[in-house]
Amino acid sequence: MALNTLPAGAFADDAITADKINLANNFAFTGTVTGTPQGLTLINSTSSTSTVASFNIDNVFSSTYKFYRVYMRVEYSQNNGYFTRLLKSDGSARLSDYRYIDDGRYSTNVAYGEAGNGVSSWFNGRHSGGNVAGGGNRGGHFVIDFYDPFSSSITHIFSQSFGWHDTTGAYLGAQFIGANTNAESHRGFTVVGNSANIIQHDVKVYGVTNA
């Protein structure tokens, strides 16, 4: 009786079919993968333990993406917080036309709320690090979405954050929604200490593909 053999180049156990890949099999990759990538593409990764008054995340916005996702951690040395400004196409900071609503709750179950209308920055860093300094995962943690910052239109920001608040002696979780209503192109952003220094920071910026 003849043995049942597979044609040359075929895989046993349906290793690769039109709708799946059997990961229990071993593969030797020698070709290329084509198609349109989906999801997040890393644009910038910044990490610093140097004490600074402010830091820039520059030249990260472009015509390639409309949506951007930012993961950020900031440690601050005092209790009066830090804020964010957009960087214009010439690299200077936009100093007006910020509007926002910032709502949340302290870990003591006390409600929190702030707002700004036509002010000089997004004051989205109400946290401070004076009592929890020292690195690691301390500080204010942010997940931030920017909508269409590079085109000559209004730039929107959507943010969630969690961090220690020295003045109240409790942790604060907040949702921050805002826009800069001046219709212009922006190429990045800057984070500035309100009156003292930022101890350290970590930032990753991703472009959202096919959003």
At 18-45, the pLDDT tens digits run 666 666 677 666 766 566 667 999 999 9
pLDDT of 13: 55
- Please calculate the CA angle 200-201-204 and round it to the nearest 5 degrees: 165
* pTM score of the predicted model: 0.81
Rounded Cα–Cα distance for residues 154 and 195 (Å): 28
Taking residues 191-211, what's their average pLDDT? 90
- Plot region of 43 (φ>0 → left; ψ -120 to 50 → alpha; else → beta): alpha
Supply 133's token pair. 């300094």
Tokens 């030249």 sit at which residue?
59
Confidence of residue 99 (pLDDT cuts 50, 70, 90): very high
Taking residues 167-190, what's their average pLDDT? 94
Picking from 205, 192, 166, 191, the residue whose alpha carbon sits closest to that of residue 78 is 166
Architecture of the domain made up of 39-209: Sandwich (2.60)
pLDDT of 20: 65
